[in-house]
Chain A
Amino acid sequence: MTPPPASPPAAPDDRTLTETGLAASGKGRVLILACGALAHEILALIRMNGWDHLDLTCLPAILHNRPEKITAAVEAAVARHRAGYERIFVAYADCGTGGKLAAACKRLGLEMIAGPHCYAFYDGLAAFEARGEVTSFYLTDFLARQFETFVWKPLGLDRHPELLEMYFGNYETLVYLAQTEDPALDAKARSYAERLGLAYERRFTGMGDLATTLERLSS
């Protein structure tokens, strides 16, 4: 009898994903090199679909706030892991790198996620573009859980709430792009909208284009 495929390890806590990321398990032929903010979702997809040929490693999610550092971090991780896998897939969109990450992936012969950022691929690239939401500020499940670490504190709003208008004065709505049905997270996201003085909208996206992208990778 064939033993069932081994489940991927559970994702570490959000703080570890934010600061450290996730080490590869060393199992699987294809490595997904992702942002730590996607770890829970990618591991859930791997588990759900039994994609035991996929391994996952994540860079610290806090790079989201320092996009100028993403490309070099991805390149270094690729150099570290290349020999151990048949293929590496970069689970980042442009993420504020201004095309630099795409250029690096092209040079290295690697595929990455299409689109500007995770908000777009969760929402679905075409839908996101069609909406043309200029004045929306987005949160995902991860960012809603980590709002203080990724938004409130790094912008100095914990120390200087008077800066709120300078940062968010031109925004109108906080759109929470929900990957899961989680009323508690919905309530949190709503409270953040209030804190930022923005209208609130919850939009359930599920895994969006992240699921279809990884499916393609698995076919």
Chain B
Amino acid sequence: MADDDEIILSELSDDELVLQMHDDLYDGMKPEIEEGVNILLERGWEPYEVLTKALVGGMTIVGNDFRDGILFVPEVLLAANAMKGGMAILKPLLAETGAPKVGKMVIGTVKGDIHDIGKNLVGMMMEGAGFEVIDLGINNAADKYIEALKSEGADILGMSALLTTTMPYMKVVIDSLVEMGIRDDYIVLVGGAPLNEEFGKAIGADAYCRDAAVAVETAKSFIARKHNQMKA
């Protein structure tokens, strides 16, 4: 027998459906998110609108509750996994419809470090915010970052590390950029559990980002500043 309280997504109004998708993201319900994305697209929503209102809006709530200690890593991962399902549908459509591109980011976990959960979350949220993300994966040496920054014409370098032993490698990368005289060509953002603002400053990064939401806001504000400088 069907549950009387079962919610039929296709019967909800647009506003109700978006709110329901926020709930479903919060609960990590990937099939429901995929269904919700398809329904909104069928109703004529622009892919970018689905992305920002339904997915990013929902993940922002998840991010806030993680920051406030209401949600923990497993729940955030489930939510991210659900968002990934929605993103997989939207990504090719976003490319086709020429959704706005805010900037380009090269991101990767540093040499000697294989932890990528935080890095993947940041990458996904950056994509959600309209950035193009070139993900170099894990265990990246300085030359790999630098090569990608140049070949991709990126605006931002994002480096991640989970280990106390690997986080100093971020300075190696930044020092290489300085030596090559290209440090100021890029916005350098760093993050990872053992890092802090002081460390970010000490190694010469532009900013330390505590979590994915902060990374997105920081990246947006640096890009806006860069554009203002170019106009001036």
- CB under 8 Å from chain B, chain A span 166-195: 166-167, 170-171
Q: What are 29 inter-chain pairs, A to B, with CB distance below 8 A?
A: A67-B194, A68-B193, A96-B193, A97-B164, A98-B164, A98-B193, A98-B194, A99-B194, A99-B199, A116-B164, A117-B164, A132-B112, A134-B113, A134-B114, A134-B139, A135-B114, A154-B72, A156-B72, A156-B73, A156-B78, A159-B74, A160-B28, A160-B74, A163-B78, A163-B81, A166-B81, A170-B116, A170-B138, A171-B114
- Sorted nearest first, the 10 A-B pairs with minimum C-beta distance are A156-B74, A98-B194, A170-B114, A94-B164, A116-B165, A116-B164, A96-B194, A163-B77, A134-B112, A166-B77
Collect the chain A residues with CB atoms within 8 Å of residue B112's CB. Answer: 132, 134
Complex: A156 Cα to B78 Cα, angstroms: 10
- Interface status of A27 (Cβ within 8 A of chain B): no
Interface assignment of B196: CB less than 8 Å from any CB of chain A: yes
Q: What sequence of 0s and 1s flags, for each residue 126-162 of chain A, a beta carbon within 8 Å of any chain B beta carbon?
A: 0000001011000000000000000000111101101
A116 to B78, CA, bound (A): 30
Instruction: For the complex, give the distance between the alpha carbons of A166 and B81 in Å.
Output: 10
Q: How would residues 69 to 105 of chain B score, 1 for a CB under 8 Å from any chain A CB and 0 otherwise?
A: 0001111011001000000000000000000000000
B33-89: which have CB < 8 Å to A?
A: 72-75, 77-78, 81
Tell me which residues from 112 to 160 in chain B have a Cβ below 8 Å from any Cβ of chain A: 112-117, 138-139
Q: How large is the interface on A (under 10, 10 to 19, 20 to 34, 35 or more residues)?
A: 20 to 34
B152 to chain A, nearest CB (A): 23
The answer to the question of A202 belonging to the interface, with a C-beta cut-off of 8 Å to chain B, is no
A window 72-100: CB within 8 A of B: 94, 96-100
Q: Which residue of A lies closest to B199 (CB)?
A: A98
Assembly CA distance A194 to B163 (angstroms) = 25
Give every chain B residue within 8 A of A170 (Cβ-Cβ).
114-116, 138
B contact face: mostly helix, strand, loop, or mixed:
loop
Which chain B residue shows the least CB distance to A158?
B74
Query: Who on chain B is nearest to A163 by CB?
Result: B77
Cα–Cα, bound, A97→B194 (Å): 6
Determine how close the nearest CB of chain A comes to the CB of B109; give it in whole angstroms.
9
Neighbouring B residues of A68 by C-beta, 8 Å:
193
User: Given the complex of chains A and B, what is the CA–CA distance between A162 and B78 in angstroms?
Assistant: 9
Contact between B114 and A155 (Cβ–Cβ < 8 Å)? Answer: no
Contacts of A162 in B (CB 8 A): 81
A residues in contact with B114, CB < 8 Å: 134-135, 170-171
B74–A163 touching, CB < 8 Å = yes
Residues on A with C-beta less than 8 A from B81 are 162-163, 166
Asked if B167 is an interface residue, CB under 8 A from chain A, the answer is yes
A117's nearest neighbour on chain B, judged by CB, is B164
Please name the residue on chain B nearest to A171 by beta carbon: B114
A156: contacting residue among B75, B164, B199, CB under 8 A: B75
